[in-house]
């Protein structure tokens, strides 16, 4: 009569499709909420999923329903302790929170905000939705010359190291069975019998006959065994490998930062946020993203992340040293044929006289041809922002870099003054297609 079924192992997430449809439906609102969340969040969890709340406006499901404030309503309630027939209760002033109004808030969600959680993947998807890595496509196409052998079935020809023993033996066995190749055990058996007969001193006539028979038989078997080889060249199979073009899936991101005394903790913090955003973004596009941190004062050196962000150095500022260091590292460790190279440079814009020209030269002739993209953010104080606002002017380095920006599609630069600038600037730098505005 009863049918008990254990469904616990059935696929869960039957609602996944519905969830995705919902996210798509509310895309616009969610996008706004995600952008807002990122600008408010700490760097460490900028890329985490998490709770967001969106206005429930675009996702209502309207139905015809009675208005609670018009006409005459009658309603029965439980739990009367004090009222007697004929009592009059003053209506609450406007807004209808009385008996009539209650009805309205019962079915509706009441709140204007719809709060829910996004997974990390969903969050990042939406965060970077309309951003594109510059020249990503070109880079992958260009890279088709990088090939990697892929297994592609079996072949009759090949080199010994590629011999597939299992396949070969399977073929061999099949052939041996079909051709009825005598087994070693069968011959051994006959030989044993002969031995046993020969061991005897006096053989009877039948036994002698048998002995002759056996010798013949063994002769015959051995002949067949020779004629039918254990492994025939037709059995042999090799693993086949096809060379497959492999898109580059590795990227290296160079973080260059001025750490001279003029860069305070505030400036560094802003730079860090920018770097982290870029890192998150690259991680979504590439299987593997390496980070290289180069800090510089008047000398440059490669350091680990901790040192990069938190240690102070004193000295002058010579930007070109960092660029030379980067060039060296690329040459040593990141061949352009294998790596997509991205660079982000943060600085407060100071540079010693005459060095900016050197930097421009380095960038244009050496680095930019190697890079997919080079972004420069100049971190300013509020006063400086006010001064440069609306102009395309900036500090020393900015003015120098302007020459580069105008010429190359791979270079972009922006001003950042406060936390909330970072994400918009980032978006501007990586906005898809024509929206991209290379030079501020």
Partner 1 sequence: MTKSGKKTKPTALFDSADWDFETLQRTYEAIEDIALEDLGLDVYPNQIEIISSEQMLDAYCSVGMPLMYEHWSFGKRFIHDEERYRKGYQGLAYEIVINSSPCISYCMEENTMAIQALVMAHAAFGHNHFFKNNYLFQQWTDAEAILDYLDFAKHYVTECEERHGVSAVEEILDAAHALMDQSVFRFRRPSKLKPGEAEERERESREHDEQSYRELWRTLPPVDAAELPDAEERELNARKAMLNLPDENILYFLQKNSPVLEDWQRELLRIVRNTAQYFYPQKQTKMMNEGCATFVHYYIVNELYDRGQITEGALLEILHSHSNVVFQPNFDDRRFSGINPYALGFAMMQDIVRICTEPTDEDRDWFPDIAGNDDWRATLKDIWANYRDESFILQYLSPKLIRDFKLFLLSDKAAQPHISVDAIHDEQGYLEVRKALAASYDVTAVEPDIQIVDVDLRGDRELVVRHSVQDGIVLDEKTRVDVLDYIGRLWGYAVRLEGIDLATGRNPYTERVEAPGEKDAA
Considering the rule CB under 8 A, would residue 22 count as an interface residue with partner 1?
A: yes
Of 117 and 265, CB closest to partner 1: 117
Burial letters for 322-339: b for 16+ Cβ neighbours within 10 Å, e otherwise? bbbbbeeebeeebebeeb
Radius of gyration of the chain (CA): 39
From the list 42, 44, 84, 159, which residue makes contact with partner 1 (rule: CB under 8 A)? 84
Which pair of structure tokens corresponds to residue 63? 């139905």
Stretch that binds partner 1, among 11-19, 228-236, 301-309, 358-366 (CB under 8 A): 11-19
Considering the rule CB under 8 A, would residue 75 count as an interface residue with partner 1?
A: yes
From the list 42, 44, 85, 165, which residue makes contact with partner 1 (rule: CB under 8 A)? 85
Considering the rule CB under 8 A, would residue 65 count as an interface residue with partner 1?
A: yes
Of 85 and 159, CB closest to partner 1: 85
CA-based angle 165:169:172, to the nearest 5? 145
* Selection from 247, 269, 278 nearest residue 430 by Cα: 278
What is the DSSP annotation of 157-199?
A: ---GGGB-HHHHHHHHHHHHHHHTPPPHHHHHHHHHHHHHHHH
Stretch that binds partner 1, among 76-84, 145-153, 292-300, 355-363 (CB under 8 A): 76-84
From the list 45, 50, 97, 117, which residue makes contact with partner 1 (rule: CB under 8 A)? 117
From the list 42, 44, 72, 201, which residue makes contact with partner 1 (rule: CB under 8 A)? 72
Which pair of structure tokens corresponds to residue 263? 């860069």
Stretch that binds partner 1, among 3-11, 228-236, 271-279, 324-332 (CB under 8 A): 3-11
In the complex, the smallest distance separating the C-beta of residue 423 from partner 1, rounded to whole angstroms, is 25
Considering the rule CB under 8 A, would residue 434 count as an interface residue with partner 1?
A: no
Of 5 and 353, CB closest to partner 1: 5
Of 95 and 390, CB closest to partner 1: 95
Considering the rule CB under 8 A, would residue 112 count as an interface residue with partner 1?
A: no
How many residues comprise the chain? Answer: 440
What is the DSSP annotation of 321-336?
A: HHHHHHHHHHHHH--T
**For tokens 């309207």, what's the residue?**
62
Neighbours of 107 (CB within 10 A): 9
* Selection from 139, 143, 142, 170 nearest residue 154 by Cα: 170
In the complex, the smallest distance separating the C-beta of residue 46 from partner 1, rounded to whole angstroms, is 22
Interface residues with partner 1 (CB under 8 A)?
1-8, 10, 12-15, 17-26, 59-81, 83-91, 98-100, 104, 106, 109, 114-117
């Amino acid at each position: 009569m009863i049918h008990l079924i254990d469904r616990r192992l059935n696929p869960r997430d039957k609602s996944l499709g519905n969830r995705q449809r919902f996210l798509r439906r509310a895309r616009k609102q969610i996008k706004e909420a995600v952008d807002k969340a990122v600008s408010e969040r700490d760097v460490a969890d900028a890329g985490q999923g998490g709770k967001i709340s969106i206005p429930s406006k675009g996702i209502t499901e309207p139905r015809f329903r009675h208005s609670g404030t018009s006409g005459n309503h009658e309603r029965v309630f439980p739990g009367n302790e004090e009222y007697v027939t004929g009592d009059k209760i003053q209506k609450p002033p406007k807004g209808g929170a009385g008996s009539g109004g209650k009805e309205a808030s019962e079915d509706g969600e009441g709140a204007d905000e719809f709060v829910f959680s996004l997974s990390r993947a969903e969050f990042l998807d939406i965060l970077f939705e309309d951003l594109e890595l510059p020249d990503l496509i070109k880079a992958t196409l260009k890279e088709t010359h990088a090939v990697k052998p892929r297994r592609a079935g079996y072949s009759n020809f090949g080199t010994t190291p590629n011999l597939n023993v299992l396949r070969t033996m399977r073929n061999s066995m099949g052939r041996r069975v079909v051709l009825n190749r005598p087994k070693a055990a069968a011959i051994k058996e006959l030989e044993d019998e002969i031995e046993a007969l020969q061991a005897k001193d006096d053989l009877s006539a039948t036994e002698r006959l048998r002995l002759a028979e056996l010798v013949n038989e063994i002769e015959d078997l051995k002949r067949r065994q020779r004629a039918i080889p254990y492994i025939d060249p037709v059995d042999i199979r090799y693993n086949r490998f096809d060379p497959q073009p492999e898109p580059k899936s590795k990227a290296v991101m160079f973080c260059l930062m001025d750490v001279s005394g003029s860069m305070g903790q505030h400036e560094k913090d802003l730079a860090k946020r920018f770097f982290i955003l870029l890192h998150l973004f690259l991680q979504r596009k590439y299987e593997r993203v390496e980070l290289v941190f180069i800090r510089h004062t008047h000398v440059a050196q490669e350091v680990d992340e901790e040192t990069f962000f938190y240690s102070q150095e004193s000295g002058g500022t010579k930007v070109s040293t960092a660029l030379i260091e980067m060039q060296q590292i690329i040459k040593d460790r990141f061949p352009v044929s294998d790596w997509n190279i991205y660079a982000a440079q943060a600085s407060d814009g100071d540079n010693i006289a005459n060095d900016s020209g050197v930097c421009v030269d380095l960038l244009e002739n050496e680095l930019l041809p190697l890079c997919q993209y080079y972004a420069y953010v100049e971190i300013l104080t509020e006063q400086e922002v006010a001064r440069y606002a609306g102009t395309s002017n900036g500090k020393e380095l900015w003015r120098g870099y302007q020459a580069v920006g105008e010429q190359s599609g791979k270079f972009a630069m922006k001003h950042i003054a406060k936390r909330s600038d970072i994400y918009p600037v980032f978006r501007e730098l990586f906005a898809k297609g024509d929206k991209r505005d290379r030079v501020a």
